[in-house]
Amino acid sequence: MVPLRPVLGRRRPLRAGAASALVLVIAAGALADRAASLELVYAPAAGANAIHDAGVTSALRQGPIFDDPRWPRSRQLAKVSGTGLSKMTAAGMEAALRAGLRDQRYGGRVGVDEIRPADWTPQSFLRLRDALRGLGSDADRVFIYISAAALEQVGRTAPSEPLPPSVNGIFAPLSEGGRAFLEVYRGSLEPLPLQIMAVSLTRWEARTPAARRGAVHALIGPSAGASQQEIWNRVRSTPAGRRILANGPGAFAHRTAQEGRDWVAAYRAFQADPTASPPGGDHPVPTGGGLTSPLAPGTTLAPGSSFRIAVDRPGRAVVRLVPRSGPARVIRALTFRGAGAASISLPRDIRPGAYSIVVTFNDVGVGLNERLVIPLTVRRRTGGGDTLASQLLINQRISQAAVRRLNAIQRWLDAGLVTGDLAGGGFGPGAFGPGVSLASGAGAPPEPAAPRPLAVASGSRGSAADVRATPAQVLINQRISQVAVLRANGLKARLSGRLTGGDIVDGSLTAGKLAPGIVVAGTSADERPAPSVTRVGTPRRARGARVELGRRQLLINQRISQAAVRRANELRAQIGSGLAEANFRPGSITSHGLDPALR
C-alpha cells in the first residue's frame, strides 16, 4: 500500500468533528523529563499567539504555521489522516508515520488526525500498536488525535466490564509509550457536563497502564457555554482530573486573543493550588460492582418463587428472564432513588427448563451500565399448581398487575408534569405557541431527565383456594384484561403527541429542556391550554357471550392480560426516559409552562 502523505500547505479551519476530539499524544523523548510543563496548542493564530505571549513559551503546536517566530519549525507537528491510516496494514501505518516524521518542513513530529471509533476496530488498534513498535524510539514523536466519542464510551463502561468493540484496544498504543491529551469537548465545542467530565476522566485514568498515568493530559478548549474557570473546575472535580491537569494541560480551538489569555489565567490559578478541590467539592464517581443478588448461579426454583437484587446508588434496573432459546421476557422494571433492594418473583406461567436472570442497571444521569447474569433452572410445579383454579389465579394476578401500573401512570400524568419529567434538550420551536418567541443562541446545557417515580399500589396475593374456577369467573377476568388493554392503548395515544402545555406544571420548563441552539427571546400574553385527557375505547361485548372453562380459554385470557402488562411496561419505560416535544401537541406549550427566569 502507498504510504499516506502528510497533510501540508495552508492550515484548514477546524472542523466541528475535530472539535470533539480526545488527543492521544506519544510525545518526543526530549520532552519526557518536563511532564509538568508539557503544553500542546491546537488553535488558530490569535488564540495561540496570546497563549505564547502570556508566558507559555515552550508549547508544541499543530502545524502548519508560517512566518511566525513564536512557533519555529522545531515545535510544529506534521499531520496524516487517521481514517486513511485505519485501512492500512501495520507495515503501511509505519511507513505513513515515517513519511510524516521525515518531512523537513516540521520538527520531526507527526500528528494523526483523527481516529474515530467508526473507522477503527480492535484489530486496527493492534496494528497501530505494532506500527509504533516498529518505529522504535521514533514512536515517541507520534501524536495521535482520537475522537472525543472514545472518551465518553470509556466513561460509560463500568471499570469491571470490557470496553465496547468501538474502543476496545484503544489503550494498546498508549502502552507503548507517549502521552494522552484528552479533549473533553463534543462537536459544537461544548464542554462535557460535570458528571460526564468527572466520570470519563476518572475511568480513562483507571484503564491507563499504571506506569503510563503520568503521561495523560487534558486538552482544554474555549469558553463555549461555560466560563474558562468553570471548565477547569469540571476537569479538576476528581482526584484523577487534578492528577491529569498536573501532568500539563493543552489548549484547543481558542480563536481569539481573549480566549487564549483566559486559558492561561485558569492554568495559572490551577498551578497555584494543584491538589485543591474546586468550589463545591469533588464530584462523586461510581466505580461499579454495586449490583448484587444473593441468588446463587445454578439454583433451581419453582414458578412464582422470589429472589432479591440490591444496588448501591440511584438508578433504574430491568430484570429479564432469558430462556435457553426464544425471546427474553421482562419480569420487572425498577427505579431506585438511592441504595436499596427489591424482591423479584418469577412468573407463575413459565415452563420448566434452563433460564438466566439478566439484570441491567443504569445510573441516573451518569450512565454507568452494569449487568448481572444468574443462570438457574425452573422445575415443574407440584401439588395443585396445574389446576384450573391455579391458572385462573395466575391470570388474575397478571391482569391486576397491569391495572395497578396503568392506574399509577394515569395518576402520574394527571398530577402534572414537573421539570424532572421532561427530557433535557427535548423541546424545539414546534412545541411552542405564538406567545413564546425563540431565537438562535448557545442556551444552557441539556438538563437530564429525572422523572418522578410511579406509585404502584401493592397487590394482594391470595391463593387458588380463594378462586372459583367457573365460566362466569373466566369471563370476568377476560373483561378486566380487555379493559386494561384499552386503557393502555388510551394512555399510549395520549403520550403519542396528545399532551398539551396544560399538562406541564407552571414554570417547570427550564432552559436546560430547550433544544440545543435555541433560547427564549420573549413572551407575550397567552392562554394556558387545557390539560389532555386519557380517552379509553369501549370494549365490544357480544350479546350472550359465553366462554368455556378449559385450558384453551385460560391461555387466551393469559395472553390478553400479558399484552396489558407489556403495554404498561412500555409506557413506564417511555416516561422513565423523559417526555419531549414529540409527546406534545404541536404549538400547545405557552409561556405559562416556562421557568419564570425565561419569560
Please check whether residues 101 and 232 belong to one and the same domain.
Answer: yes
Quickly count: other Cβ atoms within 10 Å of residue 396's Cβ. 21
434, part of any domain: yes
pTM equals 0.53
- Main-chain dihedrals φ then ψ at residue 570, nearest 5 degrees: -65, -40
**Quick one: cell of 358?**
439478566
Instruction: Give me the mean pLDDT over the 109-113 stretch.
Output: 88
Classified as helix, coil or strand, 571 is helix
Please check whether residues 424 and 493 belong to one and the same domain.
Answer: yes
288, part of any domain: no
Segment 114-169, tens digit of pLDDT: 888 889 999 999 999 999 999 988 988 888 887 888 888 888 887 777 888 889 99
283, part of any domain: no
What is the reported pLDDT for 1? 31
Please check whether residues 407 and 266 belong to one and the same domain.
Answer: no
Please check whether residues 268 and 415 belong to one and the same domain.
Answer: no
Please check whether residues 389 and 322 belong to one and the same domain.
Answer: no
Distance CA 313, CA 187 (A): 31
287, part of any domain: no
CATH of residue 320's domain is: 2.60.40.2550
Which domain covers residue 319, as residue numbers?
299-380
What is the reported pLDDT for 472? 77
The pLDDT > 90 percentage for the chain reads 52
323, part of any domain: yes
Please check whether residues 452 and 370 belong to one and the same domain.
Answer: no
Please check whether residues 358 and 318 belong to one and the same domain.
Answer: yes
Domain final position from 380, 414, 438:
380
Q: How confident is the model at residue 28 (pLDDT cuts 50, 70, 90)?
A: very low
Beta bridge partners of residue 529, listed in sequence order: none
**Quick one: cell of 35?**
511532564
- Name the most confidently modeled range: 180-194, 204-218, 303-317, 495-509: 495-509
Please check whether residues 369 and 478 belong to one and the same domain.
Answer: no
Query: Cβ(319)–Cβ(330) under 8 Å?
Result: yes
**Quick one: cell of 121?**
476496530
Distance CA 97, CA 92 (A): 9
Going from the C-alpha of 468 to that of each of 137, 349, 484, 490, 549, the distances in angstroms are: 83, 19, 22, 32, 11
pLDDT at 230 over 90: yes
- Name the most confidently modeled range: 192-196, 459-463, 578-582: 578-582
What is the reported pLDDT for 155? 87
Q: How many domains does the chain contain in total? A: 3
What is the reported pLDDT for 493? 95
- Contacts of residue 100, defined as CB under 8 A and 6 or more positions apart, other chains included, come to 6, 78, 79, 80, 106, 110, 111
**Quick one: cell of 598?**
425565561
The pLDDT > 70 percentage for the chain reads 88
Segment 415-443, tens digit of pLDDT: 999 999 999 999 999 999 999 999 998 88
Least confidently predicted of 94-108, 147-161, 434-448, 512-526: 147-161
Least confidently predicted of 160-169, 379-388, 473-482, 525-534: 379-388
Q: How confident is the model at residue 338 (pLDDT cuts 50, 70, 90)?
A: confident
505, part of any domain: yes
More confident residue, 56 or 149: 56
What is the reported pLDDT for 349? 83
416, part of any domain: yes
The terminus-to-terminus CA distance of the chain in angstroms comes to 61
Domain final position from 380, 402, 433:
380
What is the reported pLDDT for 422? 96
Please check whether residues 268 and 323 belong to one and the same domain.
Answer: no
CATH of residue 27's domain is: 3.20.20
Distance CA 112, CA 22 (A): 12
What is the reported pLDDT for 503? 97
278, part of any domain: no
Distance CA 448, CA 426 (A): 10
Going from the C-alpha of 197 to that of each of 167, 190, 212, 227, the distances in angstroms are: 18, 12, 21, 15
Segment 582-599, tens digit of pLDDT: 999 999 999 999 999 998
Classified as helix, coil or strand, 303 is coil
Please check whether residues 260 and 125 belong to one and the same domain.
Answer: yes
Please check whether residues 376 and 347 belong to one and the same domain.
Answer: yes
Domain final position from 331, 355, 380:
380
Segment 252-291, tens digit of pLDDT: 999 999 999 999 999 999 999 999 999 989 998 876 678 8
More confident residue, 366 or 167: 167
Please check whether residues 347 and 400 belong to one and the same domain.
Answer: no
